[in-house]
Structure 1
Amino acid sequence: VKRHHHKHNLKHRYEFLESLGKGTYGKVKKAKERSGRLVAVKSIRKEKIKDEQDLVHIRREIEIMSSLCHPHIITIYEFENKDKIVIVMEYASQGDLYDYICDKKNLSEYEARHFFRQIVSAVHYCHQNGIVHRDLKLENILLDGNGNFQIADFGLSNLYHSDEYLQTFCGSPLYASPEIVNGRPYRGPVDTWSLGVLLYTLVHGTMPFDGLNHKILVQQISTGNYRKPSKPSACGLIRWMLMVNPERRATIEEVAGHW
């Protein structure tokens, strides 16, 4: 994946189709390349980025995603000129995992296992390359036209070494580990916890922590007090991944070899 500079106008490269959404700094549009391949194009206007730290995060996300090459991670290309940063991504035509589960209600164990293995293989690859995602959730996992899931949105990801701790509070509360919700330093196992929440949801069709309010949610996460599932599928692995103590929690390597 290479960085391209704005030698040609984007409108000559792509036929822009419908809008896919709008973010803080710009729009995401569906587009067609000359080859006929569909892509998603995210345009970020530099003038809208007031905070220098936000620019650092955007550039870090681009740098990290551009460095990754895995069948279950969205591929990106970057274009840039003085006015804007343009990110061209693979187009995931079937929406996200949240919508998929809402539509299907109950996945078979085979289907849950198949999708979970795809997601785990991508996270395992990230960790092998010194990257922690920190925001794994249903909405950040997209389904392509071939029925395969791909991880997207590395906006909160960071580089890390296995012997170093990170400090930043980030991620989505329903998927956040005990060490994150309690403001403690953390390492790669925060992703394993989020994957445990994902696996529970894939298998049982509901979230493990109900979080009626933030205080109750933090209490549930801090004590590992999740809803006991109604069926036994993957119970042992889920328990291992949702260990409150990160030293006792399953590593990504252990998860990859388990289910």
Structure 2
Amino acid sequence: MKTENVMSEELRRDYRVCEEIGRGRFGVVFKCYSPETGQNFAVKSINKLLIADDSIDRQCLYNEAKIMHLVSPNPHIVSIADVCEDDTYLDIVLELCNSSDLFQRLSTQRLLSESDAIAVMVPLMEAIAHCHRLGVAHRDIKPENILFNEWNDLKLADFGSAQCFREGELMSGVVGTPYYVAPEVLAGRDYNEKVDIWSAGVILYIMLAGMPPFYGDSTEEIFEAVLRANLRFPTRTFRSVSPAAKDLLRRMLCKDVSRRFSAEQVLRHPWITSNDGTKEDGVVA
């Protein structure tokens, strides 16, 4: 693909575009660099002509850059460097994270030790807590959106589905990804920022079990399993998983939103704070 045909004139003036490194529904992600500083970036180039003017996607398109400015800077969130636009393209220039993402890592290492899972959960939950304090719900937490840079720092990415909220205010709209979407979203009810806690809980379960907690052979079956929210810990799979880790999973994957943990509560849970998931006394009463 010729890069000069897939991005704004402003971006092509200020940056040198290199190889394609990703692809989405409405755009392409390229590696690029600034000739002035030599610094490398990723640029998400979105073709506005593919999105209807009155669609929710058009609203999300402009929300993404605005929300990324709001939540930046943060050491565990991909930072936004620039926004370029013309009549056809919106280009969001981002911090480059070209090591791998969590999905790729879990594809090669099916199970993580509890200490390795904690090393993922702490920065992820700190990023989520930071967003929630600022009134931002990510709404699409999944392994593909958890990136690592060349120094192995975790970075939460892709705020295309994110939404701002006020304290006590509920959101609506079915967004998210099968396996990770919260049951209240699928049920068509209004929901709050704790949908992100559910999604992070699914990720924790997958890291420790090597499989999702709610699954099926089709999208419909997955959604039905999520809606039932029947959380199980198969003996063979969870034999070596600590009681503290299972306790935290119950509190994150709690169908009753009023009882589901907040991001701050997750960070204060003994399994997290002890840095040792093997301690049996780490269960919250």
TM-score by length of 1: 0.90
Q: CA, structure 1 residues 79+181, in 2 after alignment: closer, same or farther (shift >3 Å)?
A: same
Are the counterparts in 1 of residues 79 and 94 from structure 2 also a CA contact under 8 Å? yes
Corresponding residue number in structure 1 for 2:76: 72
**Are positions 1:142 and 2:147 aligned together?**
yes
1:1-259 map, 5 Å: 9-34=10-35, 35-53=37-55, 54-69=57-72, 70-76=74-80, 77-228=82-233, 229-230=237-238, 231-233=240-242, 234-258=245-269, 259=272
Aligned partners of 2:95 and 2:65: how far apart in 1? 14
* More moved, 77-86 vs 128-137: 77-86
Displacement after TM superposition at 1:9 (Å): 4.6
Are the counterparts in 2 of residues 209 and 227 from structure 1 also a CA contact under 8 Å? no
User: What is the letter of the counterpart of residue 202 of structure 1?
Assistant: M
Aligned partners of 2:149 and 2:157: how far apart in 1? 12
Stretches of structure 1 lacking an aligned partner (at least 5 in a row) = 1-6
User: What is the letter of the counterpart of residue 164 of structure 1?
Assistant: E
Q: CA, structure 1 residues 237+83, in 2 after alignment: closer, same or farther (shift >3 Å)?
A: same
Stretches of structure 2 lacking an aligned partner (at least 5 in a row) = 1-7, 273-285
CA offsets, 1:214-243, max 9 Å, x none?
A: 443333223322341523231100011111
The alignment partner of 2:22 has SS state of strand
Displacement after TM superposition at 1:98 (Å): 0.4
Aligned partners of 1:220 and 1:96: how far apart in 2? 26
Q: CA, structure 1 residues 51+248, in 2 after alignment: closer, same or farther (shift >3 Å)?
A: same
Aligned partners of 2:90 and 2:221: how far apart in 1? 41
Q: CA, structure 1 residues 163+11, in 2 after alignment: closer, same or farther (shift >3 Å)?
A: closer
Q: CA RMSD in A?
A: 2.1
Aligned partners of 2:169 and 2:186: how far apart in 1? 19
* More moved, 26-35 vs 112-121: 26-35
Displacement after TM superposition at 1:74 (Å): 0.7
User: What is the letter of the counterpart of residue 117 of structure 2?
Assistant: A
Displacement after TM superposition at 1:63 (Å): 0.6
Paired residues, what number?
A: 254
Aligned partners of 1:216 and 1:227: how far apart in 2? 17
User: What is the letter of the counterpart of residue 250 of structure 2?
Assistant: R
Corresponding residue number in structure 1 for 2:279: none
User: What is the letter of the counterpart of residue 89 of structure 2?
Assistant: K
CA offsets, 1:179-206, max 9 Å, x none?
A: 1111111111111111110111122222
CA offsets, 1:121-141, max 9 Å, x none?
A: 000000000011111001111
Q: CA, structure 1 residues 17+127, in 2 after alignment: closer, same or farther (shift >3 Å)?
A: same
The alignment partner of 1:171 has SS state of coil
User: What is the letter of the counterpart of residue 184 of structure 1?
Assistant: R
Aligned partners of 1:242 and 1:89: how far apart in 2? 32
Displacement after TM superposition at 1:61 (Å): 1.0
